[in-house]
Amino acid sequence: GFYGPKAARAIFDLSPEAADAVFGSVTCVTGVLGTLGGGLLLDTLGARLDLALAVCAAGSLLAAAGVGLAFGVARDMSAFGALTVLGQLAMFGIGAPAVAVLLRGTPPRLQPLALGVAEVAQHVFGDLPSPPLVGLLRDAVGSWRVAMGATAALMAGASLFFLAALFWGGVRGREGLRVLGEDEDAGGTAAIQQRASEEERRAFAGRRHWRGADDALRQPLLQNPSPRLDVFLSSRLLSASRSAVHASIQRGDVRVNSCVAERASRKVKAGDEIEISLREAPAPTVDPEDIPLDVVFEDDDVLVLNKQAGLVVHPTPGKFSGTLVNALLHHLRRPAIDLSACEAEDGEEVDVESDQPELASSRPSPPANPDWNQAAAVRPGIVHRLDKGTTGLMVVAKSPRAFESLKEQFFRKTARREYLSLTLGCPSAAEGMLESRIARAPGATTMQLVHVRESGRGKLARSWYAVERALAGGGAAAVAWRLDTGRTHQIRVHASRMLHCPLLGDDSYGGGAAAAKRRSKGKVGASLSALAAVLARPALHARKLSFEHPVSRERVEFEADLPPDMVQAMARLALPK
């Protein structure tokens, strides 16, 4: 642009005024039309990152062709003017797509900085050095046509960078997903459409197999109209495990409506446009580890253990060692688990059993599998779970028949569990039944909220409690619990939200050291606060467990003594204050 008028004067013998007028008017008109046209074209095509890169590459080539032909081939002013208009339209036309590439490839928090850096780079590496370089070339070769042809060649070279980004910069293997609204779906229900090119399928060769080249996968979203993003993607992408989807979200490789999705728990709605770039990392393994287990009973079919505080039951993303599963693999002499075929959980731990015990995946479990080691996958024999901080009895199945029997018993509520807790404050009623609906707090991973039964939100939870002993002059109590349902944090939620007596040491639900000091004054408050700090966990213990033995069909019952920290806490609280 700097030497354009001078080159035109030299090549076509124009007056300086005419050359400046031609170039000035062409630049103004093409600048406005090209910039608007590039943005409109990208919006029409779909505003995807791969399309933006393709438009930039094509625009660079077209601009180079226009400029090169105008200065190198045109023999009259009409041809020169037409080619110059074409070249400048293409050059300005890539402005909006280039900005789109920048924004689509940058996390939201860095986009202002990225735009600033790009603008500075454009001037420092483009506008500043190009005029003297073109002038030096013109002086060296003595021809404006050659000098301007070299400029066109540089513009053509820019397209190579866009093509490299398109094919080797991560766009390969990217899938576009669109959730269709009711007015867009012939079946009248929200649905998802997924397409993958042959190149994308080859990118995943050896790990998963895609369907045919022109297949479109459409699945109704009837059961959950607003699922979590990670659940939604893993249930639709046949080529990817949920752990791979979760890792892609954490890396910023998932975009919803052109914005980086920062939370896996984000809700997907009809009309959302989702892009995901999958870079499957080597799956971690869960290895056997010699972690001490307090075994209460064991035979060929079942193992009953007394879980210690601080032991996570099963692996979660980022934690594949130091769990009960690692200890069981060692104790049962089983090999390490390859998680490439297993689904990672959300990092959620629960105090009590799920109504429908899961195996290795959140997807529907297959029928009973004779190869039990494969079926049990990431949770070998585990049919119910306890929270990391909860101590007490758990039963583990050691055989396929035991697994199926225990799973059915927990589902039918014929397996019985009894818990003992220490609460801040003493419930006003000595015993009773608590019933509510429990749902997860918005934006929280595990913390729960309690709702009234009539609200219709959450899942029904029913607990029976009985005060066994008032402690610290009513500042605390030993409370027994029996559960009819097994919701996440059910005892902790009911104790805190319905009895208004949170478990001692439960920071998440108002039973921590600071809360204990506020609830009770003087020495009682100081003592409760100190005990909560020492416990550093919810004071909850699964003390009794009974079930029908899967083989003998006899009713068996087990009991575990309180752990030392709860025994000491009860002893201190029982002393006169």
**Dist. CA 316–CA 293, nearest whole Å:** 20
181-217: burial string, b at 16+ Cβ within 10 Å, e else: eeeebeeeebbbbbebbeebbebbeeeeebeeeeeeb
Structure tokens, 140: 């060296």
Rg (CA), the chain: 34
H helix count then E strand count, the chain: 18, 18
Q: Which amino acid is at 45?
A: L
Q: How many CB atoms lie within 10 A of CB 85?
A: 18
Q: Tell me the CA distances in angstroms from 81 to 13, 15, 23, 146, 324, one per residue in order.
A: 14, 15, 9, 18, 77
Assess contact for 167 and 173: CB atoms under 8 A. Answer: no
**Dist. CA 58–CA 101, nearest whole Å:** 14
**Dist. CA 281–CA 274, nearest whole Å:** 21
Structure tokens, 217: 């996968």
End-to-end Cα distance, the chain: 89
Degrees to nearest 5, angle at CA 403 with 401 and 408:
100
Q: Which of 574, 353, 352 is nearest to 468 (CA)?
A: 574
For residue 511, give the DSSP letter.
-
Q: Which of 566, 572, 497, 518 is nearest to 538 (CA)?
A: 566
DSSP 235-278: HH-TT--HHHHHHHHHHT-EEETTEE---TTPBP-TT-EEEEE-
Alpha helices in 142-295 (DSSP H): 144-168, 198-203, 229-236, 242-251
Give SS3 for 421.
strand
Degrees to nearest 5, angle at CA 484 with 479 and 486:
90
**Dist. CA 221–CA 198, nearest whole Å:** 27
Give SS3 for 562.
coil
Task: Reply yes or no on whether 387 is catalytic.
Answer: yes
From 253, 351, 387, 565, the catalytic residue: 387
Q: Which amino acid is at 497?
A: R
β-pairing, 391-397 vs 302-307, is antiparallel
Assess contact for 93 and 61: CB atoms under 8 A. Answer: no
* Residues labelled as active-site residues: 387
